[in-house]
Structure 1
Amino acid sequence: MAAELTAAQAALAQVATDPGAKKPDPIVVGSGITRTFGGLKAVDVEHIEIQRGVITALIGPNGAGKTTLFNLLTGFDEPNSGQWSFNGNALQSVSAYKVARLGMVRTFQLTKVLAKLTVIENMRLGATGQKGEKFWLAPFKWLWKGQEDEITSRADDLLARFKLDAKREDFAGSLSGGQRKLLEMARALMVDPELIMLDEPMAGVNPALKQSLLGHVQSLRDEGRTVLFVEHDMDMVRHISDWVIVMAQGQIVAEGTPQSVMADQRVIDAYLGAHHDTDLSELDEAALEAEVEAEIKEEQA
């Protein structure tokens, strides 16, 4: 697996840093994806590709359209236009639960644990294809008991991995914010996904758990999975991501390695404004002051 990871990371070295750059082995490909809310175009992505087997960070200022793009790709929202695929399977108009069954799962910025169920019950619900969920099989426990035991065993292994085994019988609603993030990530693995999409995994997590979460995200890649995550913590982005995609005003404005992206003027402009480093001359300042004074006088009149 280490050799495959190294190959996937090395392949990115040959990728252009232009927005929407083509990847050597993309797991997700999308084109012409748009989503408007009234007069606001929240997403306007001409082309996007996510490389298989690496960690890709999706960054951008607040309101850039990152979470909306997540919602579109995973079937939680409908676009106005566009097409995209996962492993060559077209996903337009595919329901979110069917997208998950294909191996593309996501977590949420605000965790979606079922607070009144125990931790182990939350984990069991994450498994798909359960015979006991079928109406005509539910009364006959002997037909699905073996499968449920296997699911429970897998859930216990994941809880131990994420250090939540001590909370097994606790209600999910009693967990801290960081523990809920861990539970949601562990539950996502119950379907053995190829692609895991994490929406701000560090949001609301105390510093004591951040390092643990970082390690878990890296371990997903080390297992051969693909990770796409939205994050505002630039230290995390620099530390664990192999590739970075930058959004601003609904569009992809830059791509590249963490080091190249952080130094990209397009990224600096996206976060700080296109003219953040332009000095005003004395004449400019005088003209600006005169304009403000004129507006004040007009309002007073």
Structure 2
Amino acid sequence: MHAETMSTDRKAAALAAFKDLARDPGVPKPDPILVVDHVVRRFGGLTAVDVGHVEIQRGSITALIGPNGAGKTTFFNQLTGFDTADAGSWTFNGRSMNGVPAHKVARSGMVRTFQLTKALSRLTVLENMRLGAQKQKGENFWRALVPGVWRAQEDEITERAEELLVRFKLDAKRDDFAGSLSGGQRKLLEMARALMVNPELVMLDEPMAGVNPALTQSLLGHVKDLREQGMTVLFVEHDMDMVRDISDWVIVMAQGAVIAEGPPSTIMSDERVIDAYLGAHHDAPLSEGELEAQLQEAEAALEAEIEEEAQK
């Protein structure tokens, strides 16, 4: 099948899955790959996450949006084993993932990237890619003593790494230290490394943060390409133009809870969403006048403090 036709088919199938769905938080999906129930995470007296029920449709690109402090990254951390939930349960492909450590979550086919990339700076780009592979025979002490056992697998891993580097246009950097890459190239490396395990679900935490405009289109293309290759994508993002461009469905969080779901074309006109964004005044960008007033207030307070100290 022609690649373009397949791309259209995948997109059409994803949109068909969401057709006629209710716009309520936690709406059941036709074929969910990830199902979350009553997940709660508290830090002291603050409830950072309190998600009643949410389902992620297989084969789709779902955006997770919400004001700053809505709990999106914390929620990602619970689901992928990087943090421990205080309550709740979730299943991936029908298998319970409660309390499963991060490396085993990845091994099961559910991988994530981070807002701040986790590339190991003092390793080369190729070495970073190799580290992304799971179940390496050479890691076992007894097998490591028999080179024939693990050398063939190591060759396979290197071959897959090389293929992915070509796909992500990082092959020219294969022997460079990861620390020498630009912010956008590190994002590409992290996405490529995540694919070393042939995942079914890829979770991207703000894939566009810190990426220069020249690489933005390239990254967008790669995210869409994940769906074309049969993967499911769940991503956190603030850029609404990007959300509208690539997502099939949008889930909105505010104050730790899911407050709305819907297609990207209509979600921002939903009253609940407008309320969450505009009601959270502290999350809205300050106008120049407000910023100036805050600066003057801070300067006045500092001057008063200096004067008080001088009089003592």
Shorter-chain TM-score above 0.5? yes
Amino acid at match of 2:179: G
Tell me which residue corresponds to 2:310: none
Q: 1:179 aligns with which of 178, 185, 188?
A: 185
Tell me which residue corresponds to 1:10: 16
C-alpha separation in 1, matches of 2:57 and 2:253: 17
2:29–2:57 Cα contact (<8 Å) kept: yes
Tell me the secondary structure at the aligned position of residue 183 of structure 1.
helix
Alignment of 1:252-291 (within 5 A): 252-273=258-279
Length-normalised TM-score, structure 2: 0.86
Q: 2:217 aligns with which of 211, 214, 226?
A: 211
Query: How far apart are residue 274 of structure 1 and its match?
Result: 7.7
C-alpha separation in 2, matches of 1:119 and 1:139: 27
Q: 1:244 aligns with which of 250, 274, 297?
A: 250
Q: 1:54 aligns with which of 60, 63, 85?
A: 60
C-alpha separation in 1, matches of 2:10 and 2:184: 31
Residue ranges of structure 2 left out of the alignment (5+ in a row): 1-5, 282-312
Query: How far apart are residue 249 of structure 1 and its match?
Result: 0.3
Tell me which residue corresponds to 2:238: 232
Query: How far apart are residue 247 of structure 1 and its match?
Result: 0.3
Tell me which residue corresponds to 1:32: 38
Query: How far apart are residue 59 of structure 1 and its match?
Result: 0.2
Tell me the secondary structure at the aligned position of residue 109 of structure 1.
coil
Query: How far apart are residue 139 of structure 1 and its match?
Result: 2.9
Amino acid at match of 2:74: T
Length-normalised TM-score, structure 1: 0.89
Residue 83 (str. 1) matches residue 89 (str. 2): yes
Deviations 1:97-135 (A, max 9, x none): 111111000000000011111000000111111111111
Query: How far apart are residue 32 of structure 1 and its match?
Result: 0.7
Tell me which residue corresponds to 2:119: 113
Deviations 1:236-293 (A, max 9, x none): 0000000000000001111000012011111111111189xxxxxxxxxxxxxxxxxx
Alignment of 1:129-208 (within 5 A): 129-208=135-214
Amino acid at match of 2:173: K
1:198–1:230 Cα contact (<8 Å) kept: yes
Tell me which residue corresponds to 1:43: 49
**Greater Cα offset, 206-215 or 130-139:** 130-139
Query: How far apart are residue 142 of structure 1 and its match?
Result: 2.1
Q: Percent identity?
A: 72
**Greater Cα offset, 52-61 or 143-152:** 143-152
Residue 127 (str. 1) matches residue 133 (str. 2): yes
Query: How far apart are residue 7 of structure 1 and its match?
Result: 2.3
CA spacing shift, 1:274–1:170, aligned 2, 3 Å: closer
C-alpha separation in 1, matches of 2:178 and 2:154: 20
1:66–1:247 Cα contact (<8 Å) kept: yes
Residue ranges of structure 1 left out of the alignment (5+ in a row): 276-301
Query: How far apart are residue 14 of structure 1 and its match?
Result: 2.2
Query: How far apart are residue 4 of structure 1 and its match?
Result: 4.9
- Cα RMSD after superposing both structures: 1.4
Deviations 1:35-70 (A, max 9, x none): 010110000101010000010000000000000000
Tell me which residue corresponds to 1:289: none
